[in-house]
A = this chain, B = another copy of it.
Amino acid sequence: MSITIRDVAERTGVDRSTVSRALNGKGRMSQATRERIKRVACELGYRPNMLAKGLATQKTGNIGVAIDKRHLPIGSSFYGVILEAAEAAASQHGYHIIFSVLRDHSPPQWVLERRVDGLLLLGTDIGEELVLPLQREVPVVLVDNHLAGVDSVLGDNVGGARLAVEHLITHGHKRIAFVAETLVDLSFRERFEGYRQALTAQGIPFDECLVAEGGRRPDSDRIAMAKLLESQPWPTAIFGANDYMAIGAMTVVKAAGLRVPEDMAVIGFDDGDKAPIVEPPLTTVHVPRDRMGEVATQRLMARLADPGLPLAKIVLPTELAIRTSCGCRP
């Protein structure tokens, strides 16, 4: 067994409660004894047992991060960066991260077991049936998603999509296709909305034939683009709902003997780590994933400190990362 508050107390000749107060800076006491206790604690190498502390204070010092399975592997995704940023922000406040993947849509065990003070839910496909029960246990912040009655942090999907599509229009394109895995998830719906807004703003009629969904399968990216190439006339530009779709589209386009961007311009969304290294480098909407993780964590900690805080939907700005797949030659 390791050194406890009791050892420090005996060694110092005071009561355990005094040690507790000294170390936590609570109550008023003579600077002398406080200093002495701290020194002794340090000498003894005393480390508070957070389980015991948590049991007494009803706070764990942990926050949970749950990532929707759909978006894994983390290694290739959006969410690894958010996780990292969240951890950095949390640790600055003395919090630790308990992390897990949502495999089915049942709530993470560690919430029910009261291992966390609050949690971040990452993923666009998380619905009320999961969030509401969780929120009754601890405060929740949604990342990359939004539901009524829950704090949330998102990138500006509508604005980013408008930027992308307007950029393509600037390059002279009129037949611009939209490819997505699905239009069910909030992020994709919003990006689609931005796509339509841009067309409308520039007086280009919306053409349903230029929208292709690949579905939720592994080769969704190829499927969607292939559909587009099945019927004439072809689009002259592709706007992908994320980098994955855009890169898949480029692959299909190139396989069909067309050149990117000469025969078919392409823009993606996310600005993940693959965007700069594909051929040609992908122009894409930059989503500030690190900021999202940081802001979401800060929001959660603010709510922990003050549960009465009004709800907030925090939208972080996106911008266009211009490379060459759109037709620009930087």
A: which residues have CB within 8 A of B?
2, 47-52, 54-55, 60-62, 72-81, 83-84, 87-88, 91, 94, 96-101, 103, 109-110, 112-115, 247, 251, 272-274, 277-279, 289
Contacts and interface: CB of A to CB of B under 8 A. Distances in A.
A69 to B, nearest CB: 10
Copies assembled: 2
15 contacts: A49-B113, A50-B113, A51-B114, A73-B80, A73-B84, A74-B80, A74-B84, A75-B81, A75-B272, A77-B80, A87-B99, A88-B103, A91-B100, A94-B109, A273-B274
Contacts of A99: 83, 87, 97-99
Nearest to A137: B2
A274 B73 CA distance: 13
Given A47-B114, A115-B50, A96 B75 contact: no
Nearest to A77: B75
Contacts of A52: 55
Contact of A273 (B61, B73, B88): B73
A48 B323 CA distance: 54
Nearest to A74: B80
Given A75-B289, A273-B73, A110 B96 contact: yes
A84, A279, A289 — most chain B CB neighbours (10 Å): A84
A114 to B, nearest CB: 5
A15 B297 CA distance: 42
Contact of A83 (B74, B78, B81, B274): B74
